[in-house]
Structure 1
Amino acid sequence: MRQISEGLWTTGLCDCWEDPSNCFVTMFCPCITLGRNSEIINRGEMLCRKATHLHIATGVLLFGWIFGWSNRKTLRQHFSLPETPFPDCCSHVFCMWCALCQEHRELQNRGADPFLGWERNVEKWRKDGLTPPIVVPQMVR
């Protein structure tokens, strides 16, 4: 497993070929990768199917970047990642496919499997006795 440095991305924006299968899925249907990532990033509040449809409805190439930009910002906040090499909006406007692949790899490298979805990841973490990499906020009094 890759060494994870706190506050740094585990892979570069253009390292898409580190995960060829996800690279191909993202190349031909970015809405699927966005949906999978979104379900994990948003802690199950937006299911993969709903995120995928939202991305298609907003126009993958016209306005879909807004949704991707929001997800990238949230992902960075979860793991205290820098907004590099470009601002989030630029990453999704000019390099949407690369940004989605990088976000997918980041989730995997930090212990979440976007293919499983949020609920199945939570079950897996509980079964394995692991602390979830993306903490679910608890209600406080």
Structure 2
Amino acid sequence: MADGVKYVKLKENQAPLEKITAPGERYQSVDVPQPSPERFPDPEGEPWTTGIFECAQDTESCMMGLFCPCVLFGRNVAQVRDNCTWIAPCIFHAVYVEGGVALAAAFLAGLQSVLAPRTSGCILEVLVFGWMMSGLCTSTVRDSLEERYLLERWPCDACVVHSYAHWCAICQEHRELKARLAAGDADIPMIMLSPPPVQEMNAANVEVRAL
């Protein structure tokens, strides 16, 4: 028996050797099991450099987020997205967020007592819906930041964070960008993954001949 060659005996339901006349029919194919490729776990998200309620660590962003959140939001967008200035997102934030807050404050201050209860309820529902939609739009910056630096979704989804802690969220995002840029980590981090080993089949080792 030659090295690396296996012989398989034909079964009763298989054709006898005398009836096999075509070239190549004397060889029987066998299934060679292939090992499954190695699976690599998904990379875990990196923690944020500061917590969402640690606004006092950066006095500049804290004061700007308190008195001019539209400007801070515009700067965050300009740093996260390429070919984008801070003016357009600043105007968007001023109209939808600050404008919505001013309208809600005016409604709670005096309009509620003047309008009918049904009308007041409809206006309140519209204000709440507008606030949730603004949180959905402003959370795209946080999503881009988490995807760019592989940050963990903490404490929850970006849309929920901006809906219930919007001012703290934009301050945290500004601190994160400031820390990343100061550390020279502006580029997307690269994760090196080893490819699975190449499976090679040697014809001399898998050749099977019929008796």
> 1:90 Cα deviation (Å)?
1.1
> 1:108 Cα deviation (Å)?
0.6
Could you tell me how far apart the structure 1 residues matched to 2:59 and 2:51 are? 15
Q: Cα deviations across residues 58-97 of structure 1 (Å, max 9, x unaligned)?
A: 3345343223200000000000001111210111000001
Could you tell me how far apart the structure 2 residues matched to 1:134 and 1:50 are? 24
Matches within 5 A, 1:100-119: 100-111=170-181
CA RMSD of aligned residues (A): 2.0
User: Are 1:81 and 2:151 counterparts?
Assistant: yes
Could you tell me how far apart the structure 1 residues matched to 2:97 and 2:48 are? 28
User: Are 1:52 and 2:90 counterparts?
Assistant: yes
Deviates more, 1:68-77 or 1:47-56: 47-56
Residue 62 of structure 2: aligned partner: 23
> 1:132 Cα deviation (Å)?
6.0
Could you tell me how far apart the structure 2 residues matched to 1:17 and 1:64 are? 25
Name the SS of the counterpart of 1:50 in structure 2: helix
Counterpart AA for 1:86: C
Could you tell me how far apart the structure 1 residues matched to 2:87 and 2:187 are? 20
Q: Select the structure with the greater relative contact order (CA < 8 A; seq sep ≥ 6).
A: 2
1:37 to 60, 76, 86: 76
Residue 133 of structure 1: aligned partner: 186
Could you tell me how far apart the structure 2 residues matched to 1:132 and 1:106 are? 11
Structure 1, gaps ≥5 residues long: 1-5, 113-129, 136-141
Give structure 1 regions of 4+ aligned residues with deviation exceeding 4 angstroms: none
Residue 127 of structure 1: aligned partner: none
Larger gyration radius, structure 1 or structure 2: 2
Residue 66 of structure 1: aligned partner: 136
Structure 2, gaps ≥5 residues long: 1-44, 102-130, 189-211
Identity in percent: 29
Counterpart AA for 1:100: I
> 1:131 Cα deviation (Å)?
6.3
Contact residue 55 and residue 67 of structure 1 kept, 8 A: no
Name the SS of the counterpart of 1:33 in structure 2: helix
Name the SS of the counterpart of 1:7 in structure 2: coil
TM-score by length of 1: 0.71
Could you tell me how far apart the structure 2 residues matched to 1:81 and 1:64 are? 23
Contact residue 56 and residue 64 of structure 1 kept, 8 A: no
Contact residue 35 and residue 49 of structure 1 kept, 8 A: yes
> 1:21 Cα deviation (Å)?
1.7
